[in-house]
Amino acid sequence: MINKNFNQIIIGKICAPYGILGWNKMFSFTENKKSIFTYNPLFYSKKNIIYVLKIIQWKIIKNYFLIKIKNVNNRNTAYLFQNIDIFIYSKQIKKKKNEYLWNEIISCKIFNINKNFLGKVINIIRTYSNDILVIKKNDYTKEILIPFVKNIIIKKVNVKKKIMLVDWRE
């Protein structure tokens, strides 16, 4: 998820308080869930003011984390962080050559090798074997699902021009 105004990428969400000592539940949207803690600093926004999120301790519980935020020492203060998005700036992400972020691929125009316009990427589905691009030409057409297999199906990606070339027939 991205806020284009600030080039922010939402990578997690602070949820309900947990217990009485100021802990909150947190979900990570990163591919490797623990990698959310490798980004420094993490940010959040309240009433259009951006703050640095200072997590001083964390624990894994089932499919989420428990986090302890600096100066949050009771349940009432923890409630103030409920439903807050955690974000980083895109410049904090170190990418390798020919590596793409999902938010860079969303809204790319897709053309096949015969230069026919297939539509725009509206979503990406993660599967065990590979990602699947969800393509839609307009609001009245059905969706096309294209496996994201580099060099075989995905021939070229230009995230700056928001264009992709694929070996695919409608």
pLDDT digits (tens, 9 = 90+) for 69-116: 999 999 999 999 999 999 999 888 877 777 777 778 889 999 999 999
pLDDT at 158 over 50: yes
Distance, in Å, from the CA atom of 46 to the CA atom of 57, rounded to the nearest integer, reads 22
Task: Tell which wins on pLDDT, 54 or 1.
Answer: 54
pLDDT at 137 over 80: yes
The angle at the Cα of 43, spanning 39 to 49, to the nearest 5 degrees, equals 165
Indicate the pLDDT class of residue 1, thresholds 50, 70 and 90: very low
Residue 148: what pLDDT? 92
* Domains present along the chain, CATH in parentheses: 2-92 (2.40.30.60), 102-166 (2.30.30.240)
Residue 30: what pLDDT? 86
Distance, in Å, from the CA atom of 117 to the CA atom of 111, rounded to the nearest integer, reads 5
